Amino acid sequence: MKQEHPFTQFKFCPKCGSARFIEHNEKSKACENCGFVYYFNPSASTVAVIRNHRNELLVCRRAKEPAKGTLDLPGGFSDCFETSEDSVIREVTEETGLKVKSTQYLFSLPNQYLYSDFLVHTVDMFFLCNVEDNETLTPMDDVAELMWLPLHKLRPEEFGLASIREGIRKLLAKGF
């Protein structure tokens, strides 16, 4: 599948608004009017991998598009001036009500996330998260449902976002 380059979404210079915003090289566009060079980089996103004492994984059901109704893991976009660790802690609290005690970086995967008909390129960073009380779950924010799934019942194809599917495959292959 040929992927559309993200530059096609940017027609005007973000600094001066000129339409003379052209491809500079494979990583950037340049404005012929003001000289500004814009490098298109992915947005940071975090994913929480939370396991309980019964060796089950905390899984969400998405309440909103993209992939509404499919399975997901807690997580989301990092805010400006926020570390990835702070981001995953905040996202877990916002989506589940759980308090994260510690995080451990696992791996990252590239992804594309359609938001308001705009394709956002992301780097999704997966973190193993230990939480205080994992029995009290409250689906909030963009989560319709929270559930604990035994690891042997995880089916990557039931997860709606490509990086999460790949992350589940990776975790299962590692004997998570």
Per-residue pLDDT, 10: 86
Looking at the structure, tell me whether residues 60 and 127 fall in a common domain: yes
Question: pLDDT class for 115, splitting at 50, 70, 90?
Answer: confident
| pLDDT reading at 2 higher than 90 | no
| pLDDT reading at 68 higher than 50 | yes
Looking at the structure, tell me whether residues 16 and 81 fall in a common domain: no
* Active site residues per annotation: 145
Looking at the structure, tell me whether residues 73 and 151 fall in a common domain: yes
| pLDDT reading at 64 higher than 70 | yes
Percent of the chain with pLDDT over 90: 81
| pLDDT reading at 84 higher than 90 | yes
Q: Is-above-0.85 flag for pTM?
A: yes
The verdict on residue 1 lying in a domain is: no
CA distance readout (Å), 40 to 11, 99, 136, 166? 13, 34, 41, 24
Per-residue pLDDT, 123: 97
Host domain of residue 34? 6-39
CATH number assigned to the domain comprising residue 110:
3.90.79.10
Looking at the structure, tell me whether residues 125 and 141 fall in a common domain: yes
Per-residue pLDDT, 145: 97
pLDDT tens column, 120-147: 889 999 999 999 977 788 999 999 999 9
Looking at the structure, tell me whether residues 13 and 59 fall in a common domain: no
